[in-house]
Amino acid sequence: MATVEKERLSVKVFINKVLAGTALGTIIALIPNAILTAILSYVSDNPVAAIIIQAAVTFQLATPLIIGGLIALQFGLKPAEMMVTAGAAFVGSGVIKLGDLNTYVGAGTGDIINIMITASVAVLLIRAIGDKFGSVAIIALPIFVGIGAGVIGMLTLPYVTQVTVGIGATINRFTELQPILMSVLIACSFGALIISPITTVGISLAIQISGVSAGAAAMGIAATTIVLVINSWKVNESGVTLAIALGGMKTMMPNLFRTPIILLPCLFTAAISSIPVTIFGVSGVPSSAGFGLVGLVGPLASLDAGLGVVPLIISWFIVPTLAAFLAQFLFEKVFKLYDRENVFKFLG
User: CA 133 → CA 1, 50, 75, 129, 130, distances in Å?
Assistant: 19, 47, 19, 7, 8
For residues 66 and 184, membership in a common domain is answered with no
d(CA 59, CA 25): 12
At which of 113, 137, 164 does a domain end? 164
State residue 255's pLDDT score: 93
d(CA 206, CA 171): 11
The answer to the question of residue 170 being in a domain is no
What are phi and psi for residue 36, nearest 5 degrees?
Answer: -65, -40
Does 2 have pLDDT greater than 80?
no
At which of 164, 193, 220 does a domain end? 164
- Tell me the torsion sign for CA atoms 48, 90, 193, 245: negative
Give per-residue pLDDT as tens, 199-212.
888 788 778 888 99
For residues 11 and 145, membership in a common domain is answered with yes
For residues 228 and 308, membership in a common domain is answered with yes
Give per-residue pLDDT as tens, 53-69.
999 989 989 999 999 99
For residues 151 and 80, membership in a common domain is answered with yes
d(CA 73, CA 57): 25
For residues 182 and 325, membership in a common domain is answered with yes
For residues 73 and 220, membership in a common domain is answered with no
pLDDT band with cut points at 50, 70 and 90 for residue 44? confident
d(CA 7, CA 127): 11
At which of 120, 137, 164 does a domain end? 164
The answer to the question of residue 172 being in a domain is no
Which amino acid, 208? Q
For residues 204 and 134, membership in a common domain is answered with no
Mean pLDDT of the chain: 90
How many domains is the chain partitioned into structurally? 2
- Helix segments in the chain, DSSP class H: 2-8, 11-40, 47-61, 63-74, 79-93, 112-129, 137-140, 148-173, 179-193, 200-207, 211-232, 238-245, 253-258, 263-280, 286-289, 297-304, 309-313, 319-328, 340-344
The answer to the question of residue 169 being in a domain is no
pLDDT band with cut points at 50, 70 and 90 for residue 8? low
Angle of helix 112-129 relative to helix 11-40, nearest 10 degrees?
140
For residues 225 and 113, membership in a common domain is answered with no
Give per-residue pLDDT as tens, 165-219.
888 888 888 988 899 999 999 999 999 999 998 888 878 877 888 899 999 999 9
d(CA 265, CA 329): 10
d(CA 95, CA 97): 7
SS3 assignment, position 199: coil
For residues 194 and 243, membership in a common domain is answered with yes
Domain enclosing residue 330, as ranges? 177-344
Does 138 have pLDDT greater than 80?
yes
For residues 29 and 157, membership in a common domain is answered with yes
